[in-house]
């Protein structure tokens, strides 16, 4: 089945850039997502990229997709303490039910 | 943007109670709704996928008699946890999507069974 992998933890200093990486195995992905989850809260969709795109930028967020290597990354510029959360990468396949598979989540710690 | 509302946000019940969670797409008609479960410090696991008017498709290992899913309309799906026990305590999240469109997630329901 599909598999989505992320590193578990990332720590950066406030003001630095954060780069969270994700690899996936499904070659028939349509959409790839980045979600943010703060403690005790639901998922917040940060951004998503269609599988025929290489890059998408939205304010401080830059998503890069290397479809050949099945590698997705999220760069957060000028990381703030409010960015501390768990970030989930997810991929949606092109099958009939459009199943979304989530990664393990990366906990981002921003040090003031 | 697309809004998905989930209700209730948090429910605490005694063991043996059945609990119903609602998921509504407020501003679009969802052809498909999904139910996920998240244990503490873990990722989301898909439980089942449902299309309006048809039976839900459950993932392997998910008991369909335990987790009843009803998708009566294009804007409403319900998940009923029957005879809930402490091990059913978890965070349940729904999502809704139009055909070939990104999924939009609700805020989740925290279920605590005493």
Q: Note the pLDDT tens digit of each residue in A47-83.
A: 999 988 999 999 999 999 999 999 999 999 999 999 9
B positions 44-83 inside 8 Å of A (CB): 44-46, 49, 51, 57
Q: Do A100 and B108 touch (CB under 8 A)?
A: no
Q: Which of A3, A43, A51 to mutate to test the interface with B (most CBs of B within 10 A)?
A: A43
More confident residue, A79 or A3: A79
Q: Is the pLDDT at A1 greater than 90, yes or no? A: no
Sheet strands (E) in A38-82: 43-50, 55-58, 61-66, 71-76
- Residue A97 in this model has a pLDDT that exceeds 80: no
pLDDT at B41 > cutoff 90: no
Identify the band that residue A96 occupies on the pLDDT scale cut at 50, 70 and 90.
Answer: low
Q: What is the pLDDT of residue B63?
A: 94
Query: DSSP letter at B87?
Result: G
Interchain CB contact of A97 with B (< 8 Å): yes
What's the mean pLDDT in B34-63?
Answer: 90
For residue B77, is the peptide bond before it cis, meaning its omega torsion is within 30 degrees of 0?
A: no
Other beta carbons within 10 angstroms of residue B84's beta carbon come to 23
> Can you say how many angstroms the Cα of residue A29 is from the centroid of all Cα atoms in its chain?
14
Cβ contact, residue pair B93, A30, below 8 Å: no
In angstroms, what separates the C-alpha of A17 from chain B's closest C-alpha? 24
Predicted pLDDT at B1: 62
Cβ atoms of B93 and A42 within 8 Å: the answer is yes
Cα dihedral sign for A69, A72, A77, A80? Answer: negative
- For the cut 90, the answer to whether the pLDDT of residue B98 exceeds it is no
Q: Is A46 on the interface with B (CB under 8 A)?
A: no
Tell me whether residues A35 and B108 touch, CB distance under 8 A: no
Secondary structure of A13-32 in HEC code, one letter for each residue: ECCCCEEEEEEECCCCEEEE
- For A42, the closest of B57, B93, B103 (CB atoms) is B93
> DSSP class of residue B88?
G
Segment B47-61, tens digit of pLDDT? 999 988 788 999 999
**Residue A93 pLDDT more than 70?**
yes
Nearest-Cα residue of chain A relative to residue B40 = A40
Q: Judging by DSSP bridges, how do beta strands B19-25 and B44-51 pair with one another?
A: unpaired
Q: Which residue has the higher pLDDT, A28 or A1?
A: A28
Please report the pLDDT score of residue A40 as a whole number: 78
Give the lowest-confidence range in A23-27, A103-107, B97-101: B97-101
Nearest chain A Cα distance for residue B102, angstroms: 7
B22 pLDDT above the threshold of 90: yes
User: What is the Cα gyration radius of chain A?
Assistant: 14
Tell me which H or E stretch contains B20.
strand B19-25
Residues A7, A11, A16, CA angle at the centre, nearest 5°? Answer: 115
Chain B contact for A31 (CB, 8 A cutoff): yes
3-state secondary structure B17-85: CCEEEEEEECCCCCCEEEEEEECCCCCEEEEEEEECCCCCEECCCCCCCCEEEEEEECCEEEEEECCCC
pLDDT tens digits along A19-40: 999 999 988 888 899 999 988 7
């Amino acid at each position: 089945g599909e598999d989505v992998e992320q590193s578990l933890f990332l720590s950066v200093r406030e003001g630095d850039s954060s780069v969270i990486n994700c690899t996936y195995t499904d070659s028939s992905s349509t959409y790839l997502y980045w979600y943010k989850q703060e403690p005790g809260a639901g998922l917040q969709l940060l951004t998503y990229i269609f599988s025929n795109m290489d890059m998408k930028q939205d304010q401080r967020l830059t998503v890069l997709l290397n479809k050949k290597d099945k590698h997705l990354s999220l760069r957060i510029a000028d990381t703030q303490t409010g960015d501390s959360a768990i970030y989930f990468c997810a991929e949606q396949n092109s099958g009939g039910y459009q199943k979304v598979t989530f990664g393990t989540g990366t906990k981002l710690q921003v040090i003031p | 943007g697309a809004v998905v509302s989930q209700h209730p946000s948090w429910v605490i019940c005694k063991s043996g109670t059945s609990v119903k969670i609602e998921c509504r797409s407020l501003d679009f008609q969802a052809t498909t709704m999904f139910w996920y479960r998240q244990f503490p410090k873990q990722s989301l696991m898909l439980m089942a996928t449902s299309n309006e008017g048809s039976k839900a498709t459950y993932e392997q290992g998910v008991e369909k008699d335990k987790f009843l899913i009803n998708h009566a309309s294009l804007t409403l799906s319900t998940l009923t946890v029957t005879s809930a026990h402490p091990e059913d305590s978890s965070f349940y999240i729904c999502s809704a999507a139009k055909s070939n469109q990104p999924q939009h997630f609700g805020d989740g329901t925290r279920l605590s069974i005493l």
